[in-house]
Amino acid sequence: MNGMVSLIGAGPGNVELITVLGQRRLREADVILYDRLIDPAIMASSDAEKINVGKLPHHHQYSQYEINDLLVKLASEGKRVARLKAGDPYVFGRGGEEAQYLKKHGIEVEVVPGITSAIAGLASVGIPITHRDFASSFHIITAHKKKDGSELDWQNIANSEGTLVFLMGMEQLANISTNLIGNGRSPQTPVAVIQWATQWRQKSIVSDLANVVTDVNNAGLGSPALITVGDVVKVADELMPQLPLQGKRIMIPYSKRKRMFNKLTDAGASLTFFKRPEAKQVSFELPDINEELNLDFDNPTSATLFLQHLFNAGVDIRQTSNWHFVTNGPKTRQVFEDSGILPVTEPVLGIKILNYREYVIGHHQSEVQNTIVTDERHNSNIQVDLDEVDSIIFPSTNVVEEISAGVDAASRKSLVIFALGQKVADRATALGWENVVELIPNIETLVSQMISNGGYVHD
């Protein structure tokens, strides 16, 4: 029985600018074939096998013919295949060719449209592709020569009304400028060039047809970039977004709740993820219910597992009057409050403390005094790609341990570390991280803390 292929538009680059259906298809997929311009963070919620079939200019890891055959092969094995493409699959993405090939071979195929960079990329720098005062139409043009090697119809293009947007055109920028001017466009026609539109590394310049090549070279812009020609470029200075963490690339732990993700992206940051191994419950004995104890919980997972074990054992919460439940963070506190228990935040002196916590890396339970382990994470040393990352957020000491095991000394010196709480900051410093900024573990004030505490200074 054949599977199916979903041709999915990933949008212009920002990981949130993919459709809801596109994200659902990624979660449902057995295998994802993705293009070069895809931010890997967009696939963080998927456990599918991931194959990079991206093409570099003048160099292809997979030819288009090989990609077509691979899609057919995987679907014929009964797999659900997500073919993830930058922008929209049918806007210069060869999605039409792939769909035809799949249909020809009897493979079920669907198209999940995406937001094309030709529109969203302009908006990311404050340029509306249409405007009542400047342009009532637009034209999206691939700057590559025709299949037979002949030039584009420059006379028709130059005399078209409205906004012109050239995709895949940086190698042809001088040719575009020369041909537009040579066919009647004014040398003073405004031009914007936007590299890596909607992503953290986005850069742009505003120029005109006569000077755009020089200005692009001076700014060091390259591929991939959009070239926008027309009077709509005039409003860029007025409408350019200004967000406090714009241009920052931050690594955070992946979470389905996305509270931290939402707060940071709303402030303009671009995020990449590391995924922690799933916590596995281990067997443990409940303490003596008749003994007066101060039970210290340092994370919500252990708190949840402890309460589940307590209730499964048939213990009535009223029987725990001798126990003081102590928490040191809002998430852990919420676990108890949701169960109708009001915890305290400071231990009572003179009472024995049992610490219910995650598995302590590098130790066995017998080596940790007064500790009952509720869960553990196997294979917990996380390998991360820190390429172009500005900073990492460490929410717990366990995450500090897991990440540090796979990071070299140079990265520990260069990256800004935002540690949520003093214990986390102290552990990060002890493991060689040099630029540690301690923050109060409060999601609502996270962005303002990151700026005011010296980690980031917004101009």
Amino acid in the structure at residue 73: K
Preceding amide of 224 cis, omega within 30: yes
How far the first Cα of the chain sits from its last, in Å, is 58
Instruction: Evaluate whether 17 touches 87 at the Cβ level (below 8 Å).
Output: no
- 54 burial class (0-12, 13-18, 19+ CB within 10 angstroms)? middle
Amino acid in the structure at residue 12: P
- Three-class DSSP category at 233: helix
Amino acid in the structure at residue 404: S
Helix axes 330-338, 300-312, angle to 10 degrees: 20
Residue with tokens 């079939």: 53
Instruction: Return phi, psi of residue 301, to 5°.
Output: -60, -50
Which alpha helices (H) appear in 17-107, and where do they start and end?
A: 20-28, 64-76, 95-104
- 192 burial class (0-12, 13-18, 19+ CB within 10 angstroms)? buried
- Among the listed residues 318, 275, 327, 320, the one whose alpha carbon sits nearest the alpha carbon of residue 298: 327
Active-site residues, by number, are 35, 55
Beta strands in 102-257 (DSSP E): 108-112, 138-142, 163-167, 190-195, 203-208, 225-229, 249-253
| Tokens encoding 19 | 């459709």
* Residue 378, CA distances (Å) to 49, 280, 284, 405 in order: 21, 8, 17, 14
| Tokens encoding 121 | 């990329």
- C-alpha dihedral, 206 to 211 to 213 to 215, nearest 10°: -50
Beta strands in 209-352 (DSSP E): 225-229, 249-253, 270-274, 280-281, 293-297, 323-327
Instruction: Evaluate whether 371 touches 365 at the Cβ level (below 8 Å).
Output: yes
- Among the listed residues 258, 254, 262, 282, the one whose alpha carbon sits nearest the alpha carbon of residue 47: 254
By residue count, the chain amounts to 459
Amino acid in the structure at residue 351: I
